[in-house]
Structure 1
Amino acid sequence: MPDFRAHFDFDIRFANGGDLSGTGFRLDLPESDLSEAEIGRLLVQHLGLALVDAVELRGLRIVEEPHRGSRGVGDPAGAPVVATARVVDLSHPIRAGLVTYPGLPAPAITPHLTREASRAKYAPGTEFAMDILTMVGNTGTYLDSPFHRYAEGPDLAGLDLSTLVGLRAEVYHLEDAWIPARRGIRPETLADRDVRGAAVLLHTGWDRWFGRPEYGAGAPYLTGEGAQWLIDAGAVLVGIDSLNIDDTESGGERPAHSLLLGAGVHVVEHLTNLRALPPRGARFTAAPPAVVGFGTFPVRAFAEVPA
């Protein structure tokens, strides 16, 4: 394949004042059919310029000519970024009518501005949709902050992002480690790992029933003793792909929530696709919006797994 270069003079104006001009400039091109605007942006990238307001090229010619190593074209620094990790989505999609937890209201999505109505507000060919989402915070895959359980605890806006983003994930694959007669996950099941500073993700396989009546009864959970062990071991976050981190059939007691949130350990419930993660080596993220006075909200939970 032949190489191509652009020959031109240029004038660059900066948004914060000042300008830069050049004559007889030559720039390697990745292909021959770039527009003048695309070549202008390539020039900005090559020169490493910031706060550019406008680029004007004069006397532009594109010629077949061997590359000379322009930054951003044909060299390692400008080569496309090769992904070093795959991203695994661990969240259930939210849709109108979704039942996350039996007895809680399903989300409703209604239009505020339809695309058809927006056409009267914008230039021809320009349209937007704006919708209203009404839902309880406990919808889909969501995170509980301490405020969810304790009035004096940090709300969503008070959470430290460093405890929610890029956490080392310790994934316990427990599909065969619990039985209906003993649904609780105990400390002994968790004690083989160093979980200090980690997101502990409990893969029970219960997510296969999500959105179906079977999801609401007989679900696995974390015992109070298991929660205390994770606190003492230094876990930062605990997530589960089940109905609840607690046993919802225990008559209203919530020891896992009370202990974890009281200790500042975040809780993420209704995860999914944990089977796609290795026991160790992934990085977990689950960050909610910073809503003041709110204790729980859906997250887009995901894990980055080394390729």
Structure 2
Amino acid sequence: MPQYRAHCDARIEFVNGGSLVAEGFRLDLPGDLPPESADESVVGRLLVRHLGLALVDSIDVSNLAIVEERHRGSRGIEPAAPAADQRGRLVDLGHTIRDGLVTYPGLPEPTITPHLSRADSRSRYAPGTEFALDTITMLGNTGTYLDSPFHRYEGGTDLAGLTLETLVDQRAEVFHLTDASARGIRASVFLDRDVAGRAVLLHTGWDRHFGAPAYAHGAPFLTEDGAAYLVEQGVTLVGIDSLNIDDTESGGTRPAHSLLLDAGIHVVEHLTGLDALPPSGALFTAVPPRVVGFGTFPVRAYARVM
């Protein structure tokens, strides 16, 4: 089902004095609102509701354009009900691991070699029965992977200590940031939503460069104040479709990793396909194997769109 957003300028006057001016504001339109019905007065009322404004005297909306565009999660705008054939739809959010895959430029690539080939196995089994046993050698940081606290802290919880309750069917808040003008994702991005107890997924669109040299340079990241805010709010997990949750071009500091993992908040890096998720309502899952004394491992990340 198509989704629409309003692009406009606005000036809002208040009955007790003062005004609010917005330029180039963008606002989701409700799914049951025909786009041709979204005139200046309708959009003005939606804008007031989205901003939670009180004692409004007048609303002047100008330069209005209605654009077919994926919703970003405007507050007070109810999403359209999904089509019947989309209820419970599964969306794969991980990269495929293959021999020689480059995940993070400069780190070792996985190698896959046969331990027992099908041809060699024929002599071990009954006629017509054969198996392939393969060996994969790879860094934990391969493909789409999850960081546990042990990745950053010696005494942190390792992969074997993670509970399924924090990994499976996490209610997701997806922030679509493909048109952001800055690399750093600050705390202010999250202020309009309740993220407590949720998985926060950062859709930057940087996954389009995955496997190419461009992936390693100029990647979006979560700022220190953004990480601190998510810790304060009590999120369960933070995922990003970029090179790293931190800015790898600012030296050796890793404030987002440090803050999130110290708080027991899992980090999932190198996601892909987040454009297919709504801003709210999906259930996110990313489960690594239970490995003792290990901090990072690939996951099959996916979301269920209800």
For 1:142, the equivalent position in structure 2 comes to 145
Pairwise mapping of residues 162-173 of structure 1 onto structure 2 (< 5 A)?
Answer: 162-173=165-176
Equivalent residue number for residue 190 of structure 2? 190
* C-alpha distance in 2 between matches for 1:267 and 1:83: 28
Match in the other structure for 1:14: none
Q: Distance in 2 between matches of 1:305 and 1:124?
A: 46
**What is the deviation of 1:83?**
8.3
Matched residue SS, 2:195: coil
Aligned equivalent of 1:17: none
SS of 1:282 mapped into structure 2: strand
- Aligned partner of 1:220 in structure 2 is 220
Identity, % of aligned pairs? 71
Would you say 1:153 and 2:131 are equivalent positions?
no
Counterpart CA distance in 2 for 1:187 and 1:203 is: 15
RMSD, aligned α-carbons:
1.0
State the distance in 2 between where 1:304 and 1:123 align: 42
Structure 1 counterpart of 2:42: none
The ranges of structure 1 where at least 4 consecutive aligned residues each deviate by more than 3 angstroms after the TM superposition are none
Match of 2:245 in 1: 245
* Alignment of 1:100 onto 2:99: no
**1:203 partnered with 2:206:** no
Deviation of 1:84 after TM superposition, in Å, equals 4.0
Q: Distance in 2 between matches of 1:220 and 1:214?
A: 12
Q: Distance in 1 between matches of 2:87 and 2:238?
A: 26
CA–CA separation in structure 2 for the residues paired with 1:249 and 1:265: 23
Q: Aligned equivalents of 1:151 and 1:278: distance in 2? A: 37
1:172 maps to amino acid: F
- Once residues 240 and 139 of structure 2 are traced to their aligned partners in structure 1, the CA distance between those partners, rounded to angstroms, is 19
Deviation at 1:160, TM superposition (A): 1.1
For 2:123, which of 102, 120, 123 is the aligned residue? 120
* 1:208, distance to aligned residue in structure 2 (A): 0.2
AA in 1 matched with 2:295: G
What amino acid sits opposite 2:188 in the alignment? E
Counterpart of 2:177 in structure 1: which amino acid?
L
TM-score (norm 1): 0.71
- Residue 140 of structure 1 aligns to a residue in which SS? coil
Q: Point out where structure 2 has 5 or more consecutive residues left out of the alignment.
A: 1-84
Shift of 1:234: 1.3
Given that residues 151 and 295 in structure 2 are in contact (C-alpha distance below 8 angstroms), is that contact kept between their aligned partners in structure 1?
yes
Q: Distance in 2 between matches of 1:125 and 1:200?
A: 50
Partner of residue 9, structure 2: none
Distance in 2 of aligned mates of 1:202 and 1:192 = 15
Query: 1:86: Cα distance to partner?
Result: 0.6
Contact map agreement 2:86 2:305 (CA 8 A) in 1: no
Distance 1:83 1:157 in 2: 34
Answer yes or no: is 1:85 the counterpart of 2:61: no
Alignment: residue pair count: 222
What is the CA deviation profile of residues 238-289 of structure 1, one whole-angstrom value per residue up to 9, with x for unaligned ones?
0000000000001111000000000000000000000000001100000100
- Provide the rounded CA distance (Å) in 2 between the counterparts of 1:187 and 1:92: 28
User: Which one has a bigger Cα radius of gyration?
Assistant: 1
Q: Distance in 2 between matches of 1:107 and 1:279?
A: 34
Q: Give the Cα–Cα distance (whole angstroms) in 2 for the partners of residues 134 and 233 of structure 1.
A: 38
C-alpha distance in 2 between matches for 1:146 and 1:234: 15
- In the alignment, structure 1 segments of 5+ residues that lack a partner are 1-81
Provide the C-alpha distance between the structure 2 equivalents of 1:294 and 1:244, rounded to a whole number of angstroms: 19
**Counterpart amino acid of residue 101 in structure 2:** L
TM-score normalized by the length of structure 2 = 0.72
Amino acid corresponding to residue 101 of structure 1 in structure 2 = Y
Equivalents in 1 of 2:131, 2:86: separation in Å?
33
Give distance in 1, aligned partners of 2:200 and 2:224: 15
Matched residue type, 1:243: L
For 1:274, the equivalent position in structure 2 comes to 274
